Each structure stands twice: as structure tokens, then as C-alpha cells.
Structure 1
Amino acid sequence: MHPTVVLAAPGFNGMQLLGAVTLTFFAAASAICLIAGLKGSDRIKIQNKDQALIWGFVTGALWVNAGGTWADWGKSFGDVGRSMTADTGFGDPGVGGSACLLLLVAWAWPFKKRMAFPAFLALSGAVLAGQAGGIPGMAVGIIRAIVSKMAGG
């Protein structure tokens, strides 16, 4: 069971600007923004693979951090990414190696205009990096720490 963390951001004259905001809000908001940006929103622009990679990575880190169904979705993305790198017949690179390989492909492969692929690979890579820990997991840990702090944790 995951504790509910509430964002109590001070506003004008001590009033909260956003009211109670939990980690689930951040997971849902990042998912909506990622999907809207990939679908061509006029407000959220994901125009190149670097932006898709960043949005996917942050979304993956937030999903795992939110727990519950969001973490289950993140784990599913991580499992798909792990199966793409571990069950290939070339040997098992390990969880950290799988995360690095997915992120390397998302960063280096020429995807042209198909931004969903690097976003998916980065989302999967973020989940695996968080599971692996070490250097690959440091960025995920930083995102988790910042958002947890924003949510009052």
C-alpha cells in the first residue's frame, strides 16, 4: 500500500495554489502531456526525438514513483523493454545494461518523424534504470526525489 502524499504549496496569503496534489497527479499529468505531445497537440510540442526521449523518461520515472496501477503500467513497459534486450539470443546484458541499450537506441537511432518509438524506449528504459540502480538509476532517483519533494514527501 502506498501512502498518499499531498502537495501543500503556499500561495498568496497562505492559500494553496493547486490544492491537494498527490504523486498520482504527476503520473497522470505526464502521461496526458506525453500522449498529447505525440499526437500533435497545439500546446505541447514534441518535435524531435530528444524531446520525446525526455518526456518518455520522466513519465516512466513518475509512473513507478506513483505506485499502484501507474507502477503496474510502468513495470509492463519495463518488461517489454527487458524482453527486447534479454531474450535475443546474444546473452543477457542485465537490467542496467537493458536500460542503457534502450536509452542508447532511443537517443541514437534515426526515427525520422516517428516520435512514439523513442518515447516508448525511454519510458521503458527509465523503469529499468530505476530497477537497476547505480549510475543508470541516478536520473530516475533525482526525478523521484524532486517530485516527491514537490508533493510534500
Structure 2
Amino acid sequence: MSKMIFVNLPVRHLAASIRFYEALGGTVNPQFSDERAASIMLSDTIFVMLLTHDRYAEFTKRPIGDARSESQMLIALNADSREAVDAAIEVTARAGGKADPNPAQEHGFMYGRSVEDPDGYVWEVFWMDMAAMDQAPAEA
């Protein structure tokens, strides 16, 4: 069985977050969604669980941080081409995201941009030319 990843995120406005993650290419799985949570499938092995603050608080005693003011993590998602990276940023920005909160990354064999979701979580969308990467010199 392939490894799966479940990214659990506390969100302020569930409907706004669902719109953003659908624009990122996700599909709502109604089996694990209700008025306090939405399961978003980004692939067969990558899921984002959007949880209202009260639902999220059922899983931890730690306070919920503010991703808009503190960096907690960067989540990277691959794309099929440079053009697909740009398209993903454009469509998610129109769906309530903030395009390019961090500088674009251009490394020849790899290209990436970032988008901030409605709650401030930053997603990096990147393309990598695997054949060229094998030829790239190691960075010191």
C-alpha cells in the first residue's frame, strides 16, 4: 500500500477554504465532510482535512496559531509543467488565495511559486525537470 499524507488545517471559514482547495485541484470527499470539516482529495494519496477551529481543537490542547503572522510550515505540491505552476497560482488567487507571498523560485531545472490560502497557510506549487535535475551541479 502506498503511503498517504493527511494535512489537517484549522480554518476560519470552511466554505471559503473549500473554494480555495477546489481551485488548487482538490475534490471534496463527502464521506468525511460535514458542517465542521471537509476532506479534500488532492490525489489518491494526498488529502487536506479542513477543520473549523472548534473541530480542530478536539484533536489538540495546543492553541491554534495564526499562519498569517508566523510561518509554521511550507507545503509543496508538484505540477506537470511551468505553465501549470502559473495556472495553479492564478486560479487559486481568484479563489481567495494570495499569489506569491514568497519570491518565485527559478533554478533552471526547477520552477516554483507560492500561494497563501484564506487562513494564511502557504502552498508552494513547483515543477521539476527530473532529467535536467540529474545533470544539475550540487549546490554548496
- TM-score if structure 2 supplies the norm length? 0.30
- Under a length normalisation based on structure 1, what TM-score does the superposition of the two structures give? 0.28
Choose between structure 1 and 2: higher strand proportion.
2
Q: Which has the higher contact order (CA 8 A, sep 6+)?
A: 1
